[in-house]
Amino acid sequence: MKKLVYSLFLFSLMCNFTLPLNAQRAKVRKTEAKVKMITTPVPVRPAGQKDVLGLDTPKMDVVRVGFIGLGMRGPGAVSRFTYLKGVEIKGLCDLHADRVEKCQQILKKAGLPEATGYSGSEDAWKKMCDRKDIDLIYIATDWKHHAEMMIYAMEHGKHVACEVPAAMTLKEIWDVINTAERTQKHCMQLENCVYDFFELTTLNMAQKGVFGDILYTEGSYIHNLEEFWPSYEGDWRLKYNKEHRGDVYATHGMGPACQLLDIHRGDKMNYLVSMDSDPVSIPNYIKNVRKEDPNGFKNGQHTMTMIRTEKGKTIHIQHDVASPRPYSRMYQCTGTKGFAQKYPVEGYALQSSQVDSSITPNHEDLNSHSFVPTEVKDALMKKYKHPIHVELEETAKKVGGHGGMDFIMDYRLIYCLQNGLPLDMDVYDLAEWCCLAPLTAISIENGSAPVAIPDFTRGNWDKIKGFRHAFAK
């Protein structure tokens, strides 16, 4: 008996040493919920419907596109698409005919044929989606139209790409997932920040193990929008903030933070807690500048959210579109062997073991108490430049769009469609990054209670092992 116990003890020790780091930690600590977590319904996947994880669709030599929403954001996308090969711009739609005409001029200037214009009614976009000669609908309208447009387009045989946040409520999110699964169409949220030069380089470093085991990531949208409020069509954005508490614009922070943690590709978010400070600046703006009554304004001045994952990692997300602060997406990555941050200053701090003499001859002098010197940071960024940037950096910087990341996003969307590859962002990313709007509101309105984050893959979050971009062979 003693021998058996001893053998079992030895065996358990051996198992522990051979388990990957993640599994070892997952065994160590499981958080027991002492208070009841708030849950939201998870609709059963309809019979005969399957997930769209790793979805690939037949290759396309030419991707025929229709754009809906040509306000502040849309024309930039039309312009970027004129630089893409193997694309035909077939349709342009906006409520206003003059906005369509402005985009026709972009095509003309690029030497491209005129697209069919759609305008003048709330529903004109449906006619464009009904066409048989369009493969992709690209949406850049206000938030409230996104889900309806994506669903209609997929039901009419189109792939869709939609600006952020692509869905605002849990009903919208589940309806979009179910439509993507039922139609087996691509449904990508146009989250550009995952292609930023620092973020994508850091992701590459993370995937190569430079930071060790990543335990904590951070992201945010901190951007004082006061000068922009009057420019949104029909005042939709201020109205949305007026009527909703919670992090209503979380995707720029969530995207890079979730990719670092392989969310729904080996880990999943389990729950969140959220808290906001009282709104002051926007109500003052409404009162003093617009001479209107700000009473009942809901969105907090600053909203903070913390998320815990199945594998015991944490994410911190913040939202503040009101305070007089410098723009920031925070973006931090903390691992067992190193640290990266983009704001307020870009930098890496690494244990000396993580840097070799190809980066700096004095690598043994490095320690993680402070950022590596600029020349070491530059050498790291050069060494770990992501293959996507190696290929596209020059063109992206020339075409522009938030310093080039917008062009890279569009390029990757078209590249993957043309090559029949899974897109970089799938409908479950869309769901996970957008669900903060409704779930943080629930948490805040319940005294910052923990709220369960649904597994939007409905059981398949561990099917894909690690997030990777797809490339043609």
Ligand X SMILES: NC(=O)c1ccc[n+]([C@@H]2O[C@H](COP(=O)([O-])OP(=O)(O)OC[C@H]3O[C@@H](n4cnc5c(N)ncnc54)[C@H](O)[C@@H]3O)[C@@H](O)[C@H]2O)c1
Taking CB under 6 A as the rule, which mask of x and - marks residues 179-218 in contact with ligand X?
Answer: -------------x--------------------------
* Contact assessment for residue 183 and residue 158, using Cβ atoms and an 8 Å cutoff: no
DSSP run (H or E) holding 23: helix 21-28
* Contact assessment for residue 90 and residue 66, using Cβ atoms and an 8 Å cutoff: yes
CA 404 to chain centre: 17
DSSP run (H or E) holding 161: strand 159-162
According to DSSP, the residues that pair with 38 across neighbouring strands are 451
Q: Select 99 or 386, whichever has its Cβ closest to ligand X.
A: 99
Report the nearest approach of ligand X to the CB of residue 137 (Å).
11
Q: Select 272 or 405, whichever has its Cβ closest to ligand X.
A: 405
Report the nearest approach of ligand X to the CB of residue 56 (Å).
25
163 contacts ligand X (rule: CB under 6 A): yes
Taking CB under 6 A as the rule, which mask of x and - marks residues 64-93 in contact with ligand X?
Answer: ----xxxxxxx------------------x
Q: Select 270 or 440, whichever has its Cβ closest to ligand X.
A: 440
* Contact assessment for residue 57 and residue 127, using Cβ atoms and an 8 Å cutoff: no
96 contacts ligand X (rule: CB under 6 A): yes
* Contact assessment for residue 214 and residue 271, using Cβ atoms and an 8 Å cutoff: no
Report the nearest approach of ligand X to the CB of residue 153 (Å).
12
According to DSSP, the residues that pair with 64 across neighbouring strands are 88
Question: Of the candidates 426, 404, 400, 432, which has an alpha carbon nearest to the alpha carbon of residue 413?
Answer: 426
Q: Which stretch binds ligand X (CB under 6 A): 11-19, 24-32, 142-150, 277-285?
A: 142-150
Q: Select 164 or 200, whichever has its Cβ closest to ligand X.
A: 164
Q: What share of the chain is helix, strand, coil (3-state, %, to 5)?
A: 40, 15, 45
Contacts with ligand X by CB under 6 A: the residue count is 25
Q: Select 121 or 353, whichever has its Cβ closest to ligand X.
A: 121
Q: How far apart are CA 20 and CA 396, in angstroms?
A: 38
Q: How far apart are CA 427 and CA 186, in angstroms?
A: 7
Find the farthest-apart pair of alpha carbons in the chain and give their distance in angstroms, rounded: 86
Residue nearest to ligand X (CB): 71
Contacts of 76 (CB under 8 A, 6+ apart): 401, 406
Q: Which stretch binds ligand X (CB under 6 A): 63-71, 104-112, 390-398, 458-466?
A: 63-71
Report the nearest approach of ligand X to the CB of residue 339 (Å).
26
Which residues within the stretch 395-434 sit at the binding site for ligand X (CB under 6 A)?
402
Which residues within the stretch 211-240 sit at the binding site for ligand X (CB under 6 A)?
232-233
Report the nearest approach of ligand X to the CB of residue 305 (Å).
18
Collapsed DSSP state (helix, strand, coil) of residue 116: strand
Positive or negative: CA dihedral 129, 131, 135, 140? negative
Report the residue from 67, 81, 138, 143 that binds ligand X according to the rule CB under 6 A.
143
Report the residue from 63, 66, 84, 94 that binds ligand X according to the rule CB under 6 A.
94
Report the residue from 63, 65, 107, 141 that binds ligand X according to the rule CB under 6 A.
141
Which amino acid does the sequence have at 458? R
Report the nearest approach of ligand X to the CB of residue 157 (Å).
20
Q: Select 138 or 211, whichever has its Cβ closest to ligand X.
A: 138
Q: Select 67 or 297, whichever has its Cβ closest to ligand X.
A: 67
DSSP run (H or E) holding 187: strand 187-189
Which amino acid does the sequence have at 376? V
Q: How far apart are CA 425 and CA 417, in angstroms?
A: 12
Report the residue from 99, 158, 264, 469 that binds ligand X according to the rule CB under 6 A.
99
299 contacts ligand X (rule: CB under 6 A): no
Report the nearest approach of ligand X to the CB of residue 318 (Å).
17
Q: Select 205 or 413, whichever has its Cβ closest to ligand X.
A: 413
Structure tokens at 124: 């004109």
The torsion defined by the Cα of 396, 259, 336 and 448, in degrees rounded to 10, comes to 120
Query: Site residues (CB under 6 A) for ligand X?
Result: 68-74, 93-96, 99, 122, 125, 140-143, 145, 163-164, 192, 232-233, 402
